[in-house]
């Protein structure tokens, strides 16, 4: 698939406002600041397709991108979670929308979970993994900002995350990634192709 042809389609505040549920899509999730927007921009080789989430207002929306004219294959940017300045009530609301989306979106083929390689598997990352597991939804974890660690340390982090997720290895795969260095792009594209074209 041509990821460089990705373009913004629509933002939706709730599942009910999402575009029609046909074709296939892959969703990106992660803690605020993990590097999710940068990963989407790197994967599509665009500078500002996914806005880096500095403003909490923007992050509450589910953002849909289509691959060129082909609206049957979509990338979905889910609200970042754990944004510190957001009131508890609003956080719970986002979580409800996320859970709703994961549970009920028929065209969803897989979830890319973006984590800072230095702080993987936060509490809510684990909640997301649990929800994905409940749906038998495959998950691909990007341990991003790998450029922040020396090669050996990054490898160790990868092994540690893999061993912590051993019980889920049928459903979950993990790789190192860096949006800054464009490291790991092919591996992600391969996974997205597998999901979107199957
Ligand atoms: P989001 O909130 O998950 O969408 O995170 P952003 O993509 O906005 O990134 C958060 C911060 O991390 C920004 O300052 C980015 O420049 C930085 N960042 C994102 N990806 C990388 C990466 O691969 N390497 C490095 N060194 N910094 C990154």
SS (H, E, C) the chain: CCHHHEEEEEEECCHHHCCCCCCEEEEEEEECCCCHHHHHHHHCCCCCCCCCCCCHHHHCCEEEEEECCEEEEEEEECCCECCCCCCHHHHHHHHHHHHHHHHHCCCEEEEEEEEECCCCCCHHHHHHHHHHHHCCCCEEEEEECHHHCCHHHHHHHHHHHHHHCHHHCCCEEEEECECCCCECHHHHHHHHHHHHHC
Q: Are 113 and 142 in contact (CB under 8 A)?
A: yes
> pLDDT grade, residue 51 (50/70/90)?
confident
Mean confidence (pLDDT) of the chain = 91
> pLDDT grade, residue 105 (50/70/90)?
very high
Quote the pLDDT of residue 81.
81
pLDDT of 16-25, one tens digit each?
899 999 999 9
Dist. CA 181 → ligand 1 center (Å): 12
Dist. CA 179 → ligand 1 center (Å): 8
The binding-site residues of ligand 1, defined as CB within 6 angstroms of any ligand atom, are 30, 32-38, 52-53, 80, 144-145, 147-148, 178-180
Whether pLDDT at 56 is above 70: no
How do the domains of the chain map onto residue ranges?
Answer: 3-197
The ligand 1 atom at the shortest distance from the C-alpha of residue 178 is: 23
> pLDDT grade, residue 95 (50/70/90)?
confident
pLDDT of 176-192, one tens digit each?
999 999 999 999 999 99
Dist. CA 34 → ligand 1 center (Å): 6
Q: Give pTM, 2 decimals.
A: 0.95
Q: Can you tell me the ipTM of this complex? A: 0.99
Quote the pLDDT of residue 91.
82
Query: What does the alpha-carbon distance between residue 53 and residue 68 come to, in Å, rounded to a whole number?
Result: 24
Task: Please give the class, per CATH, of domain 3-197.
Answer: alpha beta
Quote the pLDDT of residue 14.
85
Burial of 141 (0-12, 13-18, 19+ CB in 10 A): buried
> pLDDT grade, residue 54 (50/70/90)?
low
Q: Which residue has its alpha carbon closest to ligand 1 atom 26?
A: 145
By most ligand atoms within 8 Å of CB, the mutation choice from 43, 52, 53, 149 for ligand 1 is 52
Give Cα 197 distance to the centre of its chain.
18
DSSP conformational letter for 46: -
Give the residue-averaged pLDDT of 94-105.
89
């Amino acid at each position: 698939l041509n990821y460089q042809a990705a373009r913004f389609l629509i933002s939706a505040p709730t599942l009910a406002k999402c575009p029609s549920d046909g074709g296939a899509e892959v969703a990106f999730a992660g803690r605020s600041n993990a590097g999710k927007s940068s990963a989407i921009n790197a994967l599509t080789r665009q500078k500002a397709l996914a806005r880096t989430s500095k403003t909490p207002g923007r992050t509450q929306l589910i953002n849909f991108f289509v691959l060129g004219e082909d609206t049957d294959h979509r990338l979905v940017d889910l609200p970042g979670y754990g944004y510190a300045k957001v009131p508890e009530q609003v956080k719970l609301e986002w979580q409800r929308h996320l859970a709703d989306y994961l549970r009920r979106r028929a065209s969803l083929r897989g979830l890319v979970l973006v984590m800072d390689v230095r702080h993987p598997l936060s509490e809510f990352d684990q909640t997301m993994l649990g929800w994905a597991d409940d749906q038998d939804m495959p998950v691909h974890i990007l341990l991003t900002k790998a450029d922040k660690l020396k090669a050996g340390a990054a490898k160790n982090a990868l092994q540690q995350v893999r061993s912590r997720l051993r019980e889920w290895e049928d459903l979950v795969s993990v790789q190192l990634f860096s949006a800054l260095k464009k490291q790991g792009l092919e591996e992600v594209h391969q996974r997205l192709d597998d999901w979107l074209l199957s």
